[in-house]
Structure 1
Amino acid sequence: MAGQRKGGKNRAASLSPSERKSIGSLGAQARWAKADPSRVSLSRAVCGSLESPLCIGEIQIPCYVLEDEIRVLTATGMSDGLGLARGGSMIAGMNRLELFVSRDRINPFISKELYERIRSPIVFLTPTGAKAYGYDAQILVDLCEAVLAARQAGVLQQQQMGIAQRCEILTRGLARLGIIGLVDEATGYQYIRARNALEKILDEWLTKELQPWRKQFPDQYYKRIFELNEWDYDPESLSRPGVIGIWTNDIIYDRLGPGLREQLHEYAGRNASGRLKHQLHRYLTSRHGIPELQNHLSAVMALLNAATHWNQFKEMLQRALPKPETTLSMAFDDLEQIKPKSKK
C-alpha cells in the first residue's frame, strides 16, 4: 500500500497543473454524474444564464439549452424549486434530489427509469464556460406527478406536504409538452432555433412526391375547436367552417418551423378556385416530417383539452408553442371567427 501511495505521489508530481486539473475534473464528473470516466468532453449550453431563469409563479429555476437541443434545469435550481432542505442528513455521493426520491414514502411512486435519470445528472458547460449539473426539463414534470401521487395516497409526512404543495404549483404552471417552449422562452433559444431550422426541415421533413393519404388529425382536434368556440359539432359531418383551415395553418404548420407552410403550399399547388390540391401533410416524410407533426399535434391537443375557452387556448398556444421569430407578446392571429349556424 505504501508503494502504491508513493507511486501515486510521484505520478502526480510529474503532471503539469493543467493535466492534474483535467484528471480531477474527470474524477468529479464520474462521481457526480455516474458518467464514463473516459468521456473527456462536455456538452455546452448555447442559451441560458442564471439571470434568465424559468419562472413559474414565484418559483425560479435556472435553465439552459444544450448544443444537442436538450433543455436542462440546473440540479440546484430544481432542488430549491421543490423546496428541498439544504444540508441536514445527507448520504455521501448522493445529491439532494437523489436522496429525496430514495425515501421510503416517495420511492414507490418513482419509476425505475426516473430514479436512474435522477441519479445521473447531466454535466455540461454554461455559455460562460462554467461546469454545471442539470436534468432534462421533462424530469421536473415526472417528479412532480410522483410526489402528488404520493400525497393522494396519503403517505407523505407532514414536512413533505410543503414539497407537494410546490409540486402542485409547478404542475399547474407547466403543460407536459409545453415545457420546451417555456425553457426556450426563458433562454432565448427560440430565435436561434428558428434561424437554424429551415434548411434542416426542408431536407429531412419534406418530399416533393405526393404521399398516400393517411389520417393525421384526430377527430378530437376539430371537436375541441368547435367546443371552445361554442359551435354545434356533428361528428358525422365533414363540413367545417373555412376559417378552420386558416387556423390550422397558424396552429400547426406555422409553428412547426420557419418557412414550412410556404414550402408545403408550393408543393401542394392550387386549383382554379384557389383551393389547395392536396392535404399539406401528404408532403411530409414518414421518417421525420410525420413524427414531428404528430409530436406537435400532441402538444396542441394537450392545450386544447386544458383550455376552457378559445381565447385562453390562443394565449396558451402562443406561450407554449410560439411561432418562430416571434415574441410571446405577439398573440395568436386575430382571425375573424366564422361561426356556423346553430342547430335548431
Structure 2
Amino acid sequence: MIETPQSKGGKVRAEKLSPEERQAIASASAKARWAKAKDEGSPPKATHRGTLRIGDSEIPCAVLEDGRRVLSETGVTLALGSRSGGSKRIKKAEEATGSALPVFVAPANIRPFIKEELITGALKPILYKDGRRHVVGYDASVLTKVCDVWLAAREAGALQKQQLDRAQKAEVLIRALADIAIVALVDEATGFQYEREKDELSKLLALYLSEERLSWAKRFPNEFYHQIYRLRGWELPVGRAKTPLLGQITNDIVYERLPEGVLARLRELNPTDEASKRRKWKHHQFLSEEVGQTDLRDHILQILPIMKISKNWAAFMKHLNIAFPKPHSQIELDLEDGD
C-alpha cells in the first residue's frame, strides 16, 4: 500500500496531538461512524454466538442474521499477540483521517503488505447488534488474510525485533487452521460429521438422562397446574381429576424446551402402553439427578413468573417463546387460545 501526501500529512498531524486531543478525535470519529451506520439502516443482529478455539487462542465469533460470519477485533488482536499500546494510539490518531485500520494491522511498517482489496474487503468493519450492545467485528476470512500479511512482512525482513513474535503467532494460527480444515474435509467426505454429531448428542443424553428409573417424587408444583387452568380459562378440577390435555401441554411448554433429543429419548424409555394409551411412569423419573432433574426444576421455576404476569394463554405462549424458544425455532409464534 503506497502512502499518499494526504496520508503522510495525517500522520504528521497525529504526532503533534496530545493524548487528550487524540482521545477526543477518536471519540468524535466513533460517534460519526455510528451515526452513519444508523442512517444506512439498522445493523444486523447476531443470531448465534460462540468462541473459536484455535490452538491456544480463543476468538469470540458470531453469525449474523444475514448469514455473515464475524470475528471480534479484540479476539483477533490477542490471538496475534498484539497488545501494543502503540498500535492502539496509531489507530486512534488516524481515525480522524478516516484511514484507521484494526489494531492487529496498525503498525506502519506492515502497511506496504496490505492490498487495497483487503482494506475494502475483509478489513472493513462490520457493525452489528449483540443483544442490546453494538459491536464491531470483521468478516471471519480476515484471520487467514491478516496472518498472510504478517508472514509476508517477516519474509521481506520488514518487521522490528519486537514484532517477530506476532509473525510467529500468525504462523501457528495458519498451521492450526490448516489442521482443522483437513479434519473437517475428511469428516465431510466420509460422512463422519453426522456420526460426530450423534456422538455429541449421546454424550449429552448420557449426562441428562438416568439409566435406571428413579423413584417417584413430585417435580411439578401445584401452582404450575393452577396457572395452566387459569390461563386456559378452565375450572380447577376437584380432587385428582385432571384433563388429559395436560400431558400435551407439559410436553409443549417444558420437555420440548429442554435440550434437543431429550424428549425423544424419554419417549423411548417411557413408552405409551398400547392397551391403556397411557405411560406407566412419569417422564421426569428418567432424568438424571445431577443434571436432568436440576434443569427441569430450574425451567419450571423460571416459567412460573411468566405464567403469573400473563393474562391469558396466548400472552403466556408469546412470552414463553421469546424467553425459552424451542430448539431451531426461527420465529415467534402467537398460539391461539384453545385445545
TM-score band, normalised by shorter chain: 0.3 to 0.5
Query: Which structure has greater helix proportion?
Result: 2
Larger radius of gyration, structure 1 or 2?
2
Higher relative CO (Cα under 8 Å, sequence separation at least 6) belongs to 1
TM value normalised by structure 1? 0.43
